[in-house]
Chain A
Amino acid sequence: MLRFSTWKFFAIVAMTLAAVLVVAPSMLSASHYEELKSRLPSWLVPPTIVLGLDLQGGSHVMLEVDQADLIATQIKNLRDDVRRILREEKVAISGGIGATARGVQVRVADPEDREKVLVKLRQLRNSFSSALMGGPSPLDVEASPDGVIRVTITDAGLRDKSRKAVEQSIEVIRRRVDALGTREPSIQRQGDDRVLVQVPGLQDPETLKEILGKTAKLEFRLVAEPGQNPSEVEELDQVDQEGKIAVEKQVMVKGEDLTDAQPGFDQQRSGEPVVNFRFNIRGAQSFGEVTSKNVGRLFAIVLDNKVISAPRILTPITGGSGQISGRFTVEQANNLAILLRAGALPAKLNIVEERTVGPGLGQDSIDAGKRAAYVGAGLVVVYMLVTYGVFGVFANLALFVHIAFIFAGLVLLGSTLTLPGIAGIVLTIGMAVDSNVLIYERIREENHAGRSILASLDAGFTRAFATIVDSNVTMFVAAAILYFLGSGPVRGFAVSLALGILTTIVTAVTMTRMMIAVWYHYARPTRLPI
Chain B
Amino acid sequence: MLIHMIKKPYLKYDVIDPACKPVIIPVPGKAVIFFNGISDGKKRLLFKAGDKVKTGQKISLFADSAEYAVATVSGTITDISPYVGNFGKTCTAISIDVSEDDFDDSFGKETAGQPLESVRNYLSCLPGNLPVNNLFDPEKKISTIIITGIDADLLVVTNQHIIKSKQGEIKRGIEILKSIPGINNIVIAVRREFVQGYGHIGAEIRNIDVRYPSAFPQLIIRDLLGKTIPAGKTPEDTGICMISAEAVASLGEAFLHNRIPTGKIITVIYKDEKKLVSARIGTPAGDVLKALNININNGDRLITGGPMTGSCIYSEDYPVLPSTDAIMIQDGNSIEPFSDYPCINCGECIRICPANVPVNMLVRYLETKRYQEAAEQYDLYSCIECGLCAYICVSRMPLLQYIKLAKHELAGIKLTEAANV
A, B: real partners: no
